[in-house]
Amino acid sequence: MTGTKGTVVAVNGNMVSVNFDGAVSMNEVGYVKVGDKELKSEVIRIRGDVCQLQVFEMTRGIAVGDPVEFTGDMLAVEVGPGLLGQVFDGLQNPLPKLAEEAGYFLERGVYLDPLPKDTKWEFTPAAKEGDTVERGDTLGTVPEGSFTHRIMVPFNMYGTYTVVSVKPAGSYTIADTIAEVKDEKGNTIPLTMSFRWPVKRPVDCYEERLKPKDPMVTRVRLIDTFFPVARGGTYCIPGPFGAGKTVLQQITSRHADVDIVIFAACGERAGEVVETLKEFPELLDPRTGRSLMERTVIICNTSSMPVAAREASVYTAVTLAEYYRQMGLNVLLLADSTSRWAQAMREMSGRLEEIPGEEAFPAYLESTIASFYERAGLVRLKDGNFGSVTIGGTVSPAGGNFEEPVTQATLKVVGAFHGLSRERSDARKYPAIHPLDSWSKYKGIIDGEKVSYAHSFMFRGSEVEQMMKVVGEEGTSLEDYIIYLKGDFLDAVYFQQNSFDAVDSSVSPERQKNLFAKMLRILGSKFDFKDKNEARSWFNRLRQKFLDYNGSEWKSERFEVLEKEVTSAVDEKAQGLDKTAEKLLA
C-alpha cells in the first residue's frame, strides 16, 4: 500500500465516490473495506480530492464513511508458467480453486494467486553471467505442455541490465529467484519466473510491428476462401441470438492454425459459459489428440457478475495473449460478446453523468473498441522470430440490427466482417455467415480474382431469386434460371459444412483448393438444358454427389471413386467455358 487513504462519500451501483488524502492515479487499484472484507476496485475518474472507483464486486453493504486504501499499483495480471489450461475470472482468480475455498456461491473479497506457487518447473538457463539484457529478453526456458515457455526479463524493467547470476538447470517454483541482474546504478535486482503487467498498457517489447498478410487457416471453407482472416489481424462476428456465434468460435478455436487459444467470455450468459467450461476440456486437439484445454486459457465472466468485471476480463485476456506473442507464438483471442462489455461501459458512463452518444452509449465507445482491437498484430521480435495475436470478437446486436452503435464501431476497426444471418441459421445452414453482407480486407488461400468471379454468381443468383419472388419461375428466362441454380449450388456445396461430420467439419487448404477448382469449372461452364425442370433435376443430382464427395476421407478409395463420378457428370453436360472461366482456369 502507498499510504494514500480515502473515505467513501457516495455509492451509486458499483461506482463508489471516495474523498482521498494524498496522490492517486488513473486505473490505480484500491480496496474498499466493508466489515472484514476488502473489495477490489479501480480508479476511473479523478476530480480534485474526490475520485470515482468502479468496484469489481457487489457493493451491497458499502456505506458513507467506509475506509478505502489505495495500492499505488495499476490493475495488472501475473504472467509466467502455469497459465495454460486455467479458467480465470476477470481479475485472474483461478475459478476451480476459488470454488474449492469459497464454495460454488463465491464470496466477495476473496482473491487468490493466479499461478500455483508450489508447482516445480524444469528450468534451463539461456542467459549467462556478464550478459547484457533488456526487458523481454530470455533468461531461460521451462516446458509448459507442448510449448517452450520463455522466462523473460519483466516488461516493466526499462533500460539495460547486466546478468550477475543465473541458477543452473533444475526444478524451481515461480517464487524462487532464478537470476539476478544489476541496473545502470549498480543495484542488484532478483528475478523470478513470474511478474506482473498492467492490463491496460499494451506489451511493446518487440522490434517491429508488421502488416498481417498470411491467412490464419480456420478450415472453414467460407472463411478461408471468401472472407479470410489474417494471422495477426482482426475480425468480428455479429449476429442475433442463436445464430451460431458460439459454435463458430468453438470450431475455430479447435481447428485454427494457431498455437494458443484464449477464450474471453466477457459477460456471456451463464448457461453458455457453463457449456463452454464443460465442452472445452472434452474437445480433442486435432494437433496432439489430447485435450484442447492444454493450449487454452478461459477468462470466464457472466452477465450476472458486476459490470466492471466485464471490462477487466477483456483486458486480462488481451494482456495474456500479448505475453505469449512475446514468446514467438501465434495466439487467437476470442471475445464473446463485446456487446455486453459495451453495455457495461454505457452503464458506467451513465453513473458518471457523462454526455451520452448514440443510443446512450458513451461518446468514446469507438475509440475504446478501437484501442482493444489495435492490440492485435503481427510482430518481429528482437531475436528475429515472429509472434502474432489475432482477435475475433462477437457482437450481439439487439434484434440482429447491424446498424446499432457497437456493431458499427467494431466494423470501422476490424479487417474482416462475418455477419451471421437469422434467415440462414433458421434454414439450418452452417456456418450462417451471410455471403452477400460479409467482407474481408485480407488475402485468402485462393487467388482473389477467382474468388471474385465465383462470388459474382451469388450476387447474380440472389438478384434472380428476388425477381422470381415477383414474377415467378415461369417469368424467368432459362439463362437466368441457370445462374440462380449455380449460385444455389455454390452455397450448398461449398459455403455450407456439416459441423457434426468428422471430415467435412474441418477442411484442409489443399482440399479447399481442389474443391474450389471443380466449383469454378461448373460455374464457368455453358450448359444446354431443354428446360428448367431438366436444369433443376441435374443440379440437384450433382449436389448430392458433391455432398457425398465432401464427406469422404481425403484421398481415400471412396474419395477417388466419387471424384471420377462428379468429374464425368460435369463432362457429359458441359458445353465449354465462358471467356472469364477459360482465362482463370488456364
In angstroms and rounded to an integer, the radius of gyration of the C-alpha atoms of the chain is 27
For residues 485 and 490, what is the distance between their CA atoms, to the nearest angstrom? 9
pLDDT at 5: 95
For residues 188 and 550, what is the distance between their CA atoms, to the nearest angstrom? 63
Residue whose entry in the numeric block shows the C-alpha cell 464427395: 549
Q: Is the preceding peptide bond at 431 cis, omega within 30 degrees of 0?
A: yes
574 CB contacts (<8 Å, ≥6 apart)?
521, 522, 525, 526, 527
pLDDT at 246: 80
| CB of 237 closer than 8 Å to CB of 432 | no
| CB of 389 closer than 8 Å to CB of 375 | yes
What stretch of H or E contains 31?
Answer: strand 28-34
| CB of 225 closer than 8 Å to CB of 490 | no
10-residue averages of pLDDT along the chain (586 residues): 85 95 93 94 95 93 96 95 93 86 76 93 96 96 94 95 96 96 94 96 95 95 97 95 84 91 80 71 78 89 74 94 97 92 92 93 96 97 95 90 95 96 92 95 96 97 95 92 97 93 93 96 94 96 96 96 95 92 91
- pLDDT tens profile 49-89: 999 999 998 899 999 999 999 999 999 999 999 999 999 98
Q: Which residues are annotated as a binding site for ATP?
A: 239-246
534 CB contacts (<8 Å, ≥6 apart)?
none
Which residue, among 391, 393, 388, has the nearest Cα to 377 in the 3D structure?
388
Give the CATH number of domain 448-585.
Answer: 1.10.1140.10
Residue whose entry in the numeric block shows the C-alpha cell 507442448: 146
Which residue, among 160, 237, 210, has the nearest Cα to 416 in the 3D structure?
237
pLDDT at 307: 77
| CB of 227 closer than 8 Å to CB of 438 | yes
Question: What's the residue count for the chain?
Answer: 586
Cell numbers placing 380: 518481429
| CB of 77 closer than 8 Å to CB of 114 | yes
For residues 271 and 269, what is the distance between their CA atoms, to the nearest angstrom? 6
Residue ranges per domain, the chain?
A: 5-74, 85-108+207-440, 121-193, 448-585
Q: Which residues are annotated as a binding site?
A: 239-246
Fold of 5-74: Thrombin, subunit H (2.40.10)
β-strand pairing of 188-191 with 138-144: unpaired
Query: DSSP readout, 372-437?
Result: HHTT-EEEE-TTS-EEEEEEEEEE--GGG-TTSHHHHHHHTT-SEE--B-HHHHHTT-SS-B-TTT
Q: What top-level class would CATH report for the domain 85-108+207-440?
A: alpha beta
For residues 217 and 251, what is the distance between their CA atoms, to the nearest angstrom? 12
* The residue type at 452: S
541 CB contacts (<8 Å, ≥6 apart)?
569
Are both 85-108+207-440 and 121-193 of the same fold?
A: no
| CB of 287 closer than 8 Å to CB of 258 | no
Fold of 121-193: OB fold (Dihydrolipoamide Acetyltransferase, E2P) (2.40.50)
3-state secondary structure 177-218: CCEEEECCCCCEEEECCCEEEECCCCCCCCCEEECCCCECCC
Q: Is the preceding peptide bond at 337 cis, omega within 30 degrees of 0?
A: yes
3-state secondary structure 83-138: CCCCEECCCCCEHHHHHHHHCCCCCCCCCCCCCCCCCCEEEEECCCCCCEECCCCE
φ and ψ of 397, to 5 deg: -70, 140
